[in-house]
Amino acid sequence: MKEQVEKIISLAKEELAKVEKEADVLNIKSKYIGKKSELNNLLSSLKEMSNEEKKEFGPFLNNKKKELEQLFNDKIVALEEKIDLNFDETIPCNVSLGSLHPVTIVAKEVTDILNRMGFTVLKGFEMEDDYHNFEALNIPKDHPARDMQDTYYLDNKKLLRTQTSGDQVHAMENYGVPLRVCSPGRVFRNEDIDASHENTFFQLEGMVIDKNIKIENMFYVMREVLKEVFKTDVKVRLRPGFFPFTEPSFEMDMNCLICGGKGCPTCKNSGWIELIPGGMVHPNVLKMSGVDPNEYTGFAFGIGLTRLAMMKYKINDIRYLNSGDLRVLDEFEIE
């Protein structure tokens, strides 16, 4: 029997030496030590042997089976070690890269330049209270200016802010004066939607309060902001405006870049786009936030970031910007 087993082992070794694949090793393994193998049959025949024989052949057969098992396992390890490790960085890639939203880009450009001029960038609240959105801005309950901003009122007595101007009030309350802050953010109005009106859009509020602040300081800031965003001197004009929280109030308009000033639906055929309203902060607003208007003056302005993005990227319909359609956004050349 011992000879028979040695023969099995040498045959197994011979076969093993010829193969190079793990699957082949496993086949040989099952042939030599599997259930139906010759060696297994010999092991089964132990049952019929005498105790003497069992003592002699039992350990022998088991040891030989272990020896063979070790041979197969060693071969598998050797084959695994032989696998060449190559590196190839050319993984096919069909994932398109995202880009920033046009409004995000202009918001960043505006806050960057204001930041360089010493403005702190703040973040206000989309869910606001009546006091900060209206009252503290000199717009009491029955003021007709409330009609200009159709408001979404919430069940919890709060509202979705209609303007970022309330952040002026938060800033004065939280930081006192002197003050130089700006606050970009989303605002909401219950508007009928068309090419230039959306119920959700973006503004940026700016405010400077100090001693001896003049309106000319505001015009300078506005012009620098537009230069930064459009990378060139853009044609602007100034008109008197009306806002309850500034006195005097102005509107800085910009030549419509969609039609070059000829007139189009985006500029309501006027050739001009209202871009930056602002003015000297009304003494009532200062007083309500605990600032003495005899000692401090200041200016505030509100930039229509959504409109600014439309002008910069020549987007003629505001609805594209909120559509969330990446195919649309991909069309804008954004550096």
Instruction: Tell me if residue 202 falls in helix, strand or coil.
Output: strand
Among 8, 277, 286, 296, binds ligand DAH (CB under 6 A): 277
Among 32, 134, 219, 243, binds ligand DAH (CB under 6 A): 243
Neighbour-count burial for 4-38, b at 16+ CB within 10 Å, e otherwise:
ebeebbeebeeebeeeeeeeebeebbeebbeeebe
Residue whose CB is less far from ligand DAH, 124 or 278? 278
Q: Is 124 among the residues that bind ligand DAH (CB under 6 A)?
A: no
Shortest reach from residue 157's CB to ligand DAH, in Å: 22
Q: Is 297 among the residues that bind ligand DAH (CB under 6 A)?
A: no
Euclidean distance between CA atoms 225 and 210, whole angstroms:
20
Q: Is 219 among the residues that bind ligand DAH (CB under 6 A)?
A: no
Shortest reach from residue 195's CB to ligand DAH, in Å: 19
Residue whose CB is less far from ligand DAH, 32 or 250? 250
Q: Is 188 among the residues that bind ligand DAH (CB under 6 A)?
A: no
Among 37, 111, 138, 163, binds ligand DAH (CB under 6 A): 163
Residue whose CB is less far from ligand DAH, 202 or 313? 202
Q: Are 163 and 305 in contact (CB under 8 A)?
A: no
Q: Is 302 among the residues that bind ligand DAH (CB under 6 A)?
A: yes
Helices 51-81 & 22-33, crossing angle to 10 degrees? 180
Among 221, 300, 309, 315, binds ligand DAH (CB under 6 A): 300
Q: Is 298 among the residues that bind ligand DAH (CB under 6 A)?
A: no
Q: Which stretch binds ligand DAH (CB under 6 A): 118-126, 128-136, 263-271, 298-306?
A: 298-306
Q: Tokens at residue 74, please?
A: 């060693």
Beta bridge partners, 254, equal: 236, 273
Euclidean distance between CA atoms 166 and 266, whole angstroms:
28
Euclidean distance between CA atoms 210 and 170, whole angstroms:
17
Q: Is 128 among the residues that bind ligand DAH (CB under 6 A)?
A: no
Burial grade of 44 (CB within 10 A; 0-12, 13-18, 19 or more) = exposed
Burial grade of 121 (CB within 10 A; 0-12, 13-18, 19 or more) = middle
Report which secondary-structure segment, H or E, holds 248: strand 246-255
Residues from 189 through 208 that contact ligand DAH (CB under 6 A):
205
State the residue number with the nearest CB to ligand DAH.
Answer: 302
Residue whose CB is less far from ligand DAH, 102 or 277? 277
Q: Is 165 among the residues that bind ligand DAH (CB under 6 A)?
A: yes
Shortest reach from residue 200's CB to ligand DAH, in Å: 13
- CA 258, distance to chain mean position in Å, is 29
Q: Tokens at residue 58, please?
A: 């039992």
Residue whose CB is less far from ligand DAH, 75 or 282? 282
For ligand DAH, the binding residues (CB under 6 A) are 163, 165, 205, 243, 246, 277-279, 300-302
